[in-house]
């Protein structure tokens, strides 16, 4: 399998994308980018990386950041626990490892938000340690190359691929090998319509030879998502607009939103929304259907006891809060930012 490794690393040396974290020496850009790339495509992560790196260019400045600053810069990217874990890991690295990423797998895995994949990526790319990465792109490349029929949702399949790669990952430049695999899966060996003519492995790939690229890898259907229905209640008085902070644990921990009424069905939501547009936002295990109403009497507000806190916020304060993406859509739809600005100007 030396040919496998040499073919993809040679291909990568010519075809790798010019990503911003590849332009800066040291482990910190890799560390930051890997947190951003969890559950996020490269093109979506790039502007967030640039903004966060510009604000916090090293581990010391990141470790000293306020959580609210990190969440604000992360806003719109989703999976906000990544942002909190990033900050916690930075603080542990700064205080417990003298500002240096721990170069050993066992220690790296103790950091918040770092599992097998992220640890292997950082240690191989930044420290030249021969740990293979296994993500969706890597699984697809290997499963097609070998024409393995197993379900890629299963943990045993990932373990089989990791063992395969552990036997062939080169001792020299293992990071290039890992990045080449991920790059190949992301840009050439795509889930649909793979560009086999551009693939350095096409002459050896068994799925290509057997015309199996449309059926391999096999991925079983996901479990059905939970459906939830929510009505956002938008209330304003002379002090501003009412927002509430979600609990510190659970879905969207500590994020801010308009107070909510949980409903039992789409029909109930449509009825109470009074003709307002029904919005949809999807999470990994939940499809959220929601809309909004304007509340004029505070006695009509839903129960607020389950929130950490509430606040009446003016324009600048509201824009400074970490509001989750679903409710940012409400702000955009109602053009509330314009309304806030107009209200502020009227008072001046």
Query: Which pLDDT tens digit goes with each residue over 175-229?
Result: 999 999 999 999 999 999 999 999 999 999 999 999 999 999 999 998 999 999 9
337 CB contacts (<8 Å, ≥6 apart)? 315, 319, 331
- Report the pLDDT value the prediction gives residue 101, as an integer from 0 to 100: 97
So where are the chain's domains?
Answer: 226-347
The per-residue pLDDT of the chain, averaged, comes to 92
Spatial CA neighbour of 115 closest among 66, 81, 141: 81
Q: Each residue of 33-79: pLDDT tens digit?
A: 999 999 899 999 999 999 999 999 999 999 999 988 898 899 888 78
State the DSSP code for 114.
-
Across 165-189, b (16+ Cβ under 10 Å) vs e yields beeebeeebbbbbbbbbbbbbbbbb
pLDDT given for residue 331 in this prediction = 86
- The residue annotated as part of the active site, out of 34, 94, 179, 183, is 34
CA distances to 202, 208, 211 from 214, in Å: 15, 10, 8
pLDDT of residue 336: 53
Asked if CATH classification 1.10.1140.10 holds for the domain at 226-347, the reply, yes or no, is no
Residue 337 pLDDT = 45
Does the active-site annotation cover 344?
no
Record the pTM.
0.82
Nearest to 311 by CA among 232, 236, 249, 230: 236
Q: Could you list the pLDDT tens digit for every one of the 348 residues in the chain?
A: 679 999 999 999 999 999 999 988 899 999 999 999 998 999 999 999 999 999 999 999 999 999 888 988 998 887 888 999 999 999 999 999 999 999 899 999 999 999 999 999 999 999 999 999 999 999 999 999 999 999 999 999 999 999 999 999 999 999 999 999 999 999 999 999 999 999 999 999 999 999 999 999 999 998 999 999 999 999 988 888 999 999 988 888 889 999 999 999 999 999 999 888 899 999 889 999 999 999 999 999 999 999 999 999 987 788 788 888 899 888 888 765 445 444 444 444
pLDDT at 276: 85
Q: Is 207 left (phi over 0), alpha (psi -120 to 50) or beta?
A: alpha
Q: Are 307 and 247 in contact (CB under 8 A)?
A: yes
pLDDT of residue 247: 93
């Amino acid at each position: 399998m030396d040919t496998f490794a040499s073919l993809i690393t040679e291909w990568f040396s010519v075809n790798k994308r010019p990503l911003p974290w590849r332009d800066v020496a040291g482990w910190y850009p890799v560390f930051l980018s890997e947190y951003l790339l969890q559950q996020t495509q490269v093109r979506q992560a790039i502007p967030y990386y640039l903004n966060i790196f510009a604000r916090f260019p090293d581990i010391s400045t990141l470790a000293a950041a306020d959580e609210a600053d990190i969440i604000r810069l992360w806003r719109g990217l989703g999976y906000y626990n990544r942002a909190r874990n990033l900050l916690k890991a930075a603080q542990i690295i700064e205080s417990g490892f003298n500002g240096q990423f721990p170069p050993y797998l066992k220690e790296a895995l103790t950091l918040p938000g770092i599992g097998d994949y992220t640890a292997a990526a950082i240690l191989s790319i930044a420290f030249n340690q021969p740990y293979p990465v296994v993500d969706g792109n890597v699984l697809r490349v290997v499963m097609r190359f070998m024409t393995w029929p197993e379900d890629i949702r299963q943990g045993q399949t990932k373990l089989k691929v990791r063992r395969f790669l552990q036997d062939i990952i080169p001792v020299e430049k293992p990071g290039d090998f890992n990045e080449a695999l991920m790059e190949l899966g992301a840009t050439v060996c795509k889930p649909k319509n793979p560009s086999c003519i551009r693939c350095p492995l096409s002459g050896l790939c068994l799925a290509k030879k057997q015309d199996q690229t449309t059926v391999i890898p096999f991925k079983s259907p996901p479990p059905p998502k939970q459906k939830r229905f929510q009505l956002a209640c938008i209330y304003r008085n002379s002090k501003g607009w009412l927002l509430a902070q979600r609990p510190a644990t659970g879905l969207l921990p500590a994020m801010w939103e308009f107070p909510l009424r949980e409903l039992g069905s789409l029909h109930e939501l449509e009825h109470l929304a009074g003709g307002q547009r029904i919005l949809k936002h999807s999470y990994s295990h939940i499809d959220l259907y929601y809309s909004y109403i304007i509340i004029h009497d505070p006695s009509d507000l839903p129960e607020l006891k389950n929130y950490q806190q509430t606040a009446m916020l003016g324009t600048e304060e509201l824009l400074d809060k970490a509001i989750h993406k679903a409710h940012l859509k409400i702000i955009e739809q109602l053009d509330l930012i314009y309304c806030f600005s107009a209200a502020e100007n009227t008072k001046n």
